[in-house]
Amino acid sequence: MPQVQIVVREIESTKLDYSLPFNVPSVPRVGDYISIHREDTPTPHGEDLIVRRIWWRLETSEVRTAPPAEIVQTGDVREIIVECDQAIGPYSTDRWRDALEAAKKRGVAVEEFDISRFSIRQSDLPKP
């Protein structure tokens, strides 16, 4: 299972807001939707993201720019960074949704997941 570093950018910026490591069955692709559920948040709500870029950091022992046809040792993956923008999904936490909707009111382009699914606010769920 590959390990990726999910990097979340600040709203309307390329600056890093936060990052978290995850083991994933496959590397996400540009345009994929990702939802991060945190232990302190009621299921199914979380932080919703759209993948914007994949950074592959590779390492090799080869020092020549044009190695011979016979490569003695292949390089390795050093790090896979999955750069994401914040988005509104059907199960965004109230805090997440409120921050992104406030940004939209300020004229910031905030994407929403393009899906046909019932969306319910976290605060509208029955309390356990």
2-15 pLDDT tens trace: 999 999 999 988 89
Q: Where are the domains of the chain?
A: 3-60+76-124
Instruction: Give the lowest-confidence range in 68-72, 79-83, 111-115.
Output: 68-72
Distance, in Å, from the CA atom of 91 to the CA atom of 94, rounded to the nearest integer, reads 9
The Cα–Cα gap between 44 and 101 comes to: 20
The two tokens of residue 22 are 């995850």
User: Tokens for 12?
Assistant: 């309307």
In angstroms, rounded to a whole number, what is the distance separating the alpha carbons of residues 80 and 30? 13
pLDDT digits (tens, 9 = 90+) for 49-76: 999 999 999 998 877 776 667 756 788 9
Characterise 69 by phi-psi region: left (phi > 0), alpha (psi -120 to 50), beta (else): alpha
Confidence of residue 119 (pLDDT cuts 50, 70, 90): low
> How many CB atoms neighbour CB 46 within 10 A?
19
pTM: 0.84
Residue-wise pLDDT tens digits, 23-46: 999 999 999 999 999 999 988 899
pLDDT at 57 (0 to 100): 97
